[in-house]
Structure 1
């Protein structure tokens, strides 16, 4: 199994991977730091393989699942890159309009893990849509290193506008009933917080996984209930929470926040050794309950 050596990996290696994944260090620096570790039974190759994604492990719901229909759809984004594209997944049996959930990827484009999250939501009776921020540059390139580099080259404000346009496309979709939630991971956690603040009229519920808040001038506009999911070993994100919490409390926003003991940033992503099965399952159960409470009925 991809994460069989996770218990042997020191925290320092996870911290370095987080720096690398977020563009603070380059791949050469990341690998040279890993090479400096003396870990019994783990070579540099084993460490690198354990810390980088294996997307074959992330498929919980097949794209051929008989209960869903999955396809790609384009949408207009006049204030962003002009046009966007995303992965739309719907339940196959549609006897009424359904609530919808926007699914937002990490900082590397629409990878197979995020597509699977969209399928998981469709299996639960939601219209799920996962836009690809990399569509303007050809889409997710098939590996995270290239995807991360491509996303870093794009203008952040235009990406934000593309996700606003994607949210509008989904909320107004002919199969959707107008109730819209958003769930996102890492960069997608930020976008979840951003959408709740930038377009509060669109969002009925937001679930950011280990995401930073919107800017100070925007965060005060949040109105929708928020479920915030944090990893314990994630200082970069967690340091932003106290101030964000004070703003939410001051504005009487309904929120719940959970920190999962011993987990790493990215613990829900079942394609890497940062995955924590128990925490991911609990966080997902809470996510589904939260959406059911605020989007259904």
Structure 2
């Protein structure tokens, strides 16, 4: 169902996983991975969206930001193993440290724009392209919504809205955000975020799942995965996309 393609040119080029629906196309969707990069889990999520009728594109934003996404992905897999976690955590922090540099964020945002333009210029996605992102990808879903007025819908899963008032005020598309109640860092900031969105008049919905933490949707990590929350969030996501992309 899916294949790897190359976007961008020269040093700014990056890979992306593209998954096509088999039948009628309902719209197009950028699927942004977690901090672990474009691992098989995210490709499978893209395939799930394609099975629902959406042309799904999952860009390798770690590679776009100058990181070795394969190395980060292997370290992320080790975190799910209690025996390997203590060794993996400091190595993961070291491997992902370049993401904090402004230059990396600039390259990642440029790759997101390239991804959006690719979908929005295609007949399948013109005027009906949205974004779904997880963790790192949730944060960049907020960023894309602020940067791209043509975006039709944004669905950040447990992402940070690290945006100033002016950036937040530029979000024109509806936003459906998901959180785990035990994800204290994000939950502590959610009341203020709701208020900030209310002041802009934007369509912002936040759904919080009791008894769950960060990354509850990731079924490859049994330490955090919550099947009931994941299934409900998936159902709500599809209903939201159906409303705003089709």
Residues 1:275 and 2:225 are matched in the alignment? yes
CA contact (8 A) 1:209 1:229 kept: yes
* Secondary structure of 1:253's aligned partner: coil
1:110 alignment partner, one of 24, 38, 44: 38
**2:59 alignment counterpart:** 131
> Offset at 1:160?
2.1
Residue of structure 2 equivalent to 1:204? 152
Structure 2 equivalent of residue 152 of structure 1 = 97
- Larger relative helix fraction: 2
1:230-284, CA deviations, whole angstroms, 9 ceiling, x for partnerless residues? 1001111222222221221112111211100000100000011200000000011
- Aligned residues of 1:108 and 1:151 also touching (Cα < 8 A): no
Alignment-derived partner of residue 71 in structure 1 = 3
TM-score for both structures, normalised by structure 2: 0.83
Name the structure 1 match of 2:74.
Answer: 143
**TM-superposed deviation, 1:150:** 4.1
Q: Which runs of 5+ in 2 are unaligned?
A: 77-90
- Cα pair distance change 1:245/1:119, threshold 3 Å: same
Q: Is the 8 A contact 1:108 1:147 kept in 2?
A: no
Number of the residue aligned with 1:49: none
> 2: distance between equivalents of 1:138 and 1:88?
20
Q: Which residue of 2 aligns with 1:30?
A: none
**Which structure has the larger Rg over C-alpha atoms?**
1
CA contact (8 A) 2:22 2:53 kept: no
Query: Once the 2 structures are TM-superposed, how far is the Cα of residue 77 of structure 1 from its aligned partner?
Result: 6.5
Q: Matches of residues 274-293 of structure 1 in structure 2 within 5 Å?
A: 274-293=224-243
TM value normalised by structure 1:
0.70
Tell me by how many angstroms 1:214 deviates: 3.4
**2:140 is the counterpart of 1:191:** yes
Pairing partner for 1:120 from 19, 39, 48: 48
Structure 1, unaligned runs of 5 or more: 1-68
Give the distance between the partners of 2:9 and 2:114, measured in 1 at CA: 5
Whole-angstrom distance in 1 between the partners of 2:196 and 2:202: 9
- Cα distance, 1:148–1:156 mapped onto 2, change above 3 Å: farther
* Counterpart Cα distance in 2 of 1:151 and 1:129: 23
| RMSD after superposition | 2.0
